[in-house]
Amino acid sequence: MPVVALIGAQWGDEGKGHLVDLLASKARLVVRYGGGNNAGHTVVNHLGTFKLHLVPSGIFDPATVNVIGPGVVVNPEVLLSEIKDLEARAVSTAKLFVSERAHVIMPYHVMLDQLQEESRGEGKIGTTGRGIGPAYADKMSRTGIRVADLLHEETLLNRLRVVLEEKNRVLTRLYNAKPLSLHDTYLRYLDLGRQLSDHISNVHPIIHRALEKDFPVLLEGAQGSLLDVDHGTYPYVTSSPPGAAGACQGAGIGPTAISSVIGVLKAYTTRVGEGPFPSEIEGPEADVLRQIGMPWAEVGTTTGRLRRVGWFDAVMSRYAVQINGIDTLAITKLDVLDTLETIKVCVGYRLHETQLEYPPATVAVLSQVEPIYEELPGWQTPTSDIRRFQDMPEAAQAYVARLCQLVGARLGIISVGPGRDQTIVVNEVF
């Protein structure tokens, strides 16, 4: 049975939540493997519109088990409030489990993320301010607090005593901020652990039993490959590996268990936050892509920031296909291009007199490249109600086929609207 990793192949917000919701009914298990509440996954289905930050987007299928894996950094307050909201809207979270091994985003992580951003001034990254970078940094420095620690009074107190001493020194001496009280922080996180205790589990047996039994498993990506800490547009990246390798590491499964890697790509490109974006556009064309006023307008799901928009960048997306072993593409938001007379696709970069086929490694060079565009005819027909590939306007078929050819993977799914049913499955995933 397939184990499918569904990953963002641009700079995030490709529509991963939409597709996980669609595919969850075929999976027995959905595992969110990385990132934290920097993610914002929108799901539009028969139950309404949901914006999820930590809970996997497979939660709407009552038969599916949903796991927040060891690679995720968890803000317990955000998770509890998400669980409460879902339950209030009659979505059961009885089959939601969070790994004991996942790291906890503590209040000092959020404070430090924001203070560090302020101190970067012009060089700010444009983080979501949710404490993601500092939480992953502590995990690597081995000073993190894990979900399991919240359930063990003595461990929590001992770890907090050591960590807070250091954090308070940094907060007060470096940033002139207020220190955090050991007593209050300890009691607050102990209480959060108690509130979450029904969901906290050693998720390894859950995941491995599913693999042994050959159940279909879906690994839910957060962020996008171009935000990868190793392979992305460093330092304008997130602090985790959002791709296929991160799926293995963050879920705790081997690469040989993965049968397919689906790369989710918008039919154009967006980016939130700072950093290079060669095919970025501004002006009236950008407004068409932004779709302001529509429910799916390009406004950040987590922070409400306006997303930067641009043409499809085949250089970046091909790179994402290569570093992740993506075999299948899900191309989303095709309907957003419905009104355009012609559509540009970036097929290469020009740097002085040379043409580049791969993204350069440094921001300094990447900021200098000129995109080389190919112009394809638009279809100027609404596509939102189309459900079969053969019913799509010819120019739309040709556009999608060209994207697949340029990036080097087969077409799996096209989406033409935010709703669960607004999808065209060309090649079955499960």
Active site residues: 13, 41
Provide the mask over 295-314, with x wherever binding to Mg ion is found by CB under 5 A and - wherever it is not: ------x-------------
Q: Which residues on adjacent β-strands are paired with residue 68?
A: 32, 98
Minimum CB separation from ligand GDP for residue 3, in Å? Answer: 20
Minimum CB separation from ligand GDP for residue 357, in Å? Answer: 26
Residue 335, contacted partner among Mg ion, ligand GDP, ligand IMO, none, CB below 5-8 A by kind: ligand GDP
Minimum CB separation from ligand GDP for residue 331, in Å? Answer: 9
Cα separation of 418 and 421, whole Å?
8
Residues 318 to 347: which contact ligand GDP by CB under 6 A? 332-333, 335-336
Q: Is residue 262 a contact residue for ligand IMO (CB under 6 A)?
A: no
Q: Is residue 133 a contact residue for ligand IMO (CB under 6 A)?
A: yes
* Closest to 188 in 3D by CA, of 285, 76, 97, 297: 76
Minimum CB distance to ligand GDP smaller for 36 or for 418: 418
Residue 186, contacted partner among ligand IMO, ligand GDP, Mg ion, none, CB below 5-8 A by kind: none
Burial tier of 114 (Cβ tally within 10 Å: 0-12, 13-18, 19+): middle
Q: Choose the stretch contacting ligand IMO; rule: CB under 6 A; options: 162-170, 218-226, 325-333, 336-344.
A: 218-226
Cα separation of 174 and 170, whole Å?
5
DSSP state of 131: S
Q: Is residue 223 a contact residue for ligand IMO (CB under 6 A)?
A: yes
Contact of 77 with 53, CB cutoff 8 Å = no
Q: Is residue 423 a contact residue for ligand IMO (CB under 6 A)?
A: no
What is the dihedral sign for C-alpha 81, 60, 71, 130?
Answer: negative
CB atoms within 10 A of CB 64: 20
3-state secondary structure (DSSP) of residue 348: strand
Q: Choose the stretch contacting ligand IMO; rule: CB under 6 A; options: 127-135, 192-200, 208-216, 314-322.
A: 127-135
| One of 13, 14, 113, 274 touching Mg ion (CB under 5 A) | 13
3-state secondary structure (DSSP) of residue 169: helix
Minimum CB separation from ligand GDP for residue 42, in Å? Answer: 3
Minimum CB distance to Mg ion smaller for 270 or for 328: 270
Minimum CB distance to ligand GDP smaller for 121 or for 304: 304
Minimum CB separation from ligand IMO for residue 150, in Å? Answer: 22
Q: Say how many Å lie between the first and final Cα of the chain, rounded.
A: 8
Q: Is residue 75 a contact residue for ligand IMO (CB under 6 A)?
A: no
Per-residue three-class SS string for 8-76: ECCCCCCCHHHHHHHHHCCCCEEEECCECCCCCEEEEECCEEEEECCCCCCCCCCCCEEEECCCEEECH
| One of 127, 201, 269, 415 touching ligand IMO (CB under 6 A) | 127
Provide the mask over 24-43, with x wherever binding to ligand IMO is found by CB under 6 A and - wherever it is not: --------------xxxx--
The C-alpha angle with vertex 357 and arms to 427 and 127, in degrees rounded to 5, equals 80
Provide the mask over 25-44, with x wherever binding to Mg ion is found by CB under 5 A and - wherever it is not: ---------------x----
Cis amide linkage into residue 62, ω under 30° from 0: no
Q: Is residue 130 a contact residue for ligand IMO (CB under 6 A)?
A: yes
# of chain residues touching Mg ion (CB under 5 A): 3
Cα separation of 22 and 45, whole Å?
9
Contact of 263 with 320, CB cutoff 8 Å = yes
Cα separation of 372 and 5, whole Å?
31
Q: What's the half-sphere exposure (Cβ side, CA atoms, 13 Å) at 123?
A: 7
* Rounded CA Rg of the chain: 21
| One of 215, 234, 296, 389 touching ligand GDP (CB under 6 A) | 296
Minimum CB distance to Mg ion smaller for 66 or for 301: 301
Q: Is residue 332 a contact residue for ligand IMO (CB under 6 A)?
A: no
Residue 333, contacted partner among Mg ion, ligand GDP, ligand IMO, none, CB below 5-8 A by kind: ligand GDP
Cα separation of 57 and 163, whole Å?
33
Q: Choose the stretch contacting ligand GDP; rule: CB under 6 A; options: 6-14, 88-96, 103-111, 177-185.
A: 6-14
Burial tier of 394 (Cβ tally within 10 Å: 0-12, 13-18, 19+): exposed
Site residues for Mg ion per CB under 5 A: 13, 40, 301
Site residues for ligand GDP per CB under 6 A: 8, 12-18, 40-42, 44, 296, 301, 332-333, 335-336, 415-418
Site residues for ligand IMO per CB under 6 A: 8, 11-13, 38-41, 125-128, 130, 132-133, 222-224, 227, 238-239, 272-273, 301
